[in-house]
């Protein structure tokens, strides 16, 4: 009965979905936020590795919608809806948004982690998706993975070891 | 990737020289601190997708010790001095006489000593660059982290995040003896800084 589960990797400024069985993982979250949405009825997980709070500041030619909180969430919702997710069943969990280095000065870019967290919360509220668990802030990096059969989010860090939410 | 298209071979060579001068001086400073020769690999200037940057130090989840500086002044950017935990312990032992107590952790005293070592090296890196270019470049107070490489380095990519999914990295490795890596310097100038560096060095900016 030992079966290696398939692992789907989500890179930085990237997003993906996994349905029915398997694990979805993103590594090395610092100030970035790992946002997950889960539909437990159909065992569908969507995960985004969000790097920046808002696409308003984007100066790139072709927008990478997975990178920004305001564009990644609608894209996740769309991809999940295509696979049969029902908006009202979705619950969100997130981790990351650390402030890796603390400085007294340095302006907005220095507190990008907390700003990413705030932005994700704002957009979840806008889409009326409840945030049922989070492990955000502090000053350390995290690797997260979600098992799509259970919807458990496990978080690993150098300083805090492993935990599940 | 419109932003990087303008950086043809010659400009990349200029940036390599920027890394050479900065890291060369930092290597000299480290060599003086340790009272032994420190070699330096030829700097690499690369344009890399975000995900691949952590591969330069062993992957997203590789645990590293990093001293981070935000560079302020005319040509802002992010500067990292990255060490393996073992190299960090070795430096502490030789420089500060600190005896390794715990292989896995760094005490407050150790962290403070490492920040100071990073500070000296970053100071010589940036002051030589400032002399070379005539631009003001000063480091902020050092920030120290002992964590996953991905989580640390991503912090230096935020300014590039607005531009695209790649960043330009000037990477120099310090070597002791044959090829034992002592540490790595990563300079990631902000996107706006390239033009200033090129103008300061008299590199023509013609657009075609």
**Mutation for B interface: A27, A145, A162, most B CBs within 10 A:** A27
Query: In angstroms, what CA-CA distances link A118 with A34, A98, B48, B146?
Result: 13, 12, 29, 26
Catalytic residue among A15, A18, A32, A148: A32
pLDDT at B1: 45
Shortest alpha-carbon distance between residue B86 and chain A (Å): 16
Q: Hunting for tokens 């998706």 — which residue is that?
A: A129
* Active-site residue flag, A148: no
**A113: distance to nearest CA of chain B, Å?**
9
Kindly tell me the sign of the dihedral angle through the C-alpha atoms of A138, B151, B71, B1: negative
Q: Between these two residues, A56 and A156, which has the higher pLDDT value?
A: A156
Q: Encoding tokens for residue B147? A: 């964590």
DSSP A87: G
How many Cα atoms within 13 Å fall on the side-chain side of residue B84?
Answer: 13
Asked if A32's CB is within 8 angstroms of B159's CB, the reply is no
> Can you give the pLDDT at residue A89?
93
Q: What residues are paired with B139 via a beta bridge?
A: B71
* Chain A residues in contact with B151 (beta carbon < 8 A): 28-30, 98, 100, 140-142
**Residues of chain A numbered 95-124 and touching chain B (CB < 8 Å):** 98, 100-103, 105-106, 109-110, 112
- Burial of residue A137 (CB within 10 Å: 0-12, 13-18, 19+) is middle
Topology (CATH) of B2-200: Chemotaxis protein chec (3.40.1550)
Please give the average pLDDT of every successive group of 10 residues along chain B, which has 208 residues.
68 85 87 83 85 86 90 90 87 77 78 88 89 88 90 87 84 75 84 86 70
**Does residue A116 carry a pLDDT above 90?**
yes
For an interface test with B, the pick among A7, A9, A10, A12 (most B C-beta atoms closer than 10 Å) comes out as A12
**Which pLDDT score, from 0 to 100, does residue B103 have?**
66
What is the SS3 assignment for A60? coil
Asked whether B62 and B147 are in contact (CB, 8 A), the reply is no
Interface touch A143/B143, C-beta < 8 Å: no
Mean pLDDT of A61-83: 90
Higher pLDDT, A18 or B95: A18
What is A7-164's CATH topology? 60s Ribosomal Protein L30; Chain: A; (3.30.1330)
What phi and psi values does residue A53 have, to the nearest 5 degrees?
-70, -40
At A120, the pLDDT band (50, 70, 90 cuts) reads very high
- Those residues whose C-beta lies under 8 Å from the C-beta of residue A80, and which sit 6 or more positions away, are A17, A37, A39, A44, A46, A90
Joined tokens for residue B5 = 């298209």
In this prediction the ipTM stands at 0.84
**Cβ <8 Å between A106 and B2:** no
Q: Which stretches within B134-172 are classed as H helix?
A: 149-153, 158-161
């Amino acid at each position: 009965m030992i079966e290696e589960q398939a692992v789907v990797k989500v890179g930085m400024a990237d997003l993906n979905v996994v349905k029915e069985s398997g694990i979805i993982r993103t590594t090395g979250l610092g100030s970035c936020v790992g946002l997950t949405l889960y539909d437990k009825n159909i065992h569908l997980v969507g995960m985004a590795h969000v790097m920046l709070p808002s696409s308003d500041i984007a100066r790139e030619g072709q927008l990478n919608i997975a990178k920004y909180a305001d564009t990644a969430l609608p894209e996740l919702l769309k991809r999940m809806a295509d696979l049969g997710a029902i908006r009202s069943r979705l619950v969100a969990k997130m981790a990351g948004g650390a402030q890796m280095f603390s400085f007294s000065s340095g302006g907005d870019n220095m507190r990008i982690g907390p700003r990413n967290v705030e932005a994700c919360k704002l957009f979840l509220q806008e889409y009326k998706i409840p945030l049922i668990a989070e492990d955000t802030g502090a000053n350390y990096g995290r690797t997260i993975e979600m098992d799509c059969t259970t919807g458990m989010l496990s978080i690993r860090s150098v300083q805090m070891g492993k935990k599940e939410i | 990737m419109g932003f990087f298209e303008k950086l043809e071979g010659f400009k990349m060579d200029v940036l390599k020289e920027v890394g050479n001068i900065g890291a060369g001086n930092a290597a000299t400073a480290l060599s003086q601190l340790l009272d032994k020769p420190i070699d330096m690999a030829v700097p690499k200037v690369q344009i890399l997708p975000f995900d691949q940057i952590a591969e330069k130090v062993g992957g997203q989840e590789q645990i590293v010790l990093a001293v981070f500086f935000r560079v302020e002044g005319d040509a802002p950017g992010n500067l990292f001095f990255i060490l393996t935990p073992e190299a960090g312990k070795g430096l502490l032992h030789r420089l500060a006489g600190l005896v390794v107590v715990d292989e896995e952790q760094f005490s407050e005293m150790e962290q403070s000593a490492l920040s100071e070592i990073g500070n000296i090296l970053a100071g010589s890196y940036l002051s030589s660059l400032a002399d070379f270019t005539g631009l003001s470049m000063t480091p902020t107070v050092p920030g120290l982290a002992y964590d996953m490489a991905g989580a640390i380095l991503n912090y230096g990519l935020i300014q590039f995040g607005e531009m695209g999914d790649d960043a330009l990295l000037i990477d120099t490795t310090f070597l002791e003896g044959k090829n034992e890596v002592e540490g790595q310097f990563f300079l990631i100038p902000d996107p706006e800084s390239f033009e200033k560096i090129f103008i300061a060095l008299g590199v023509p900016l013609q657009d075609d």
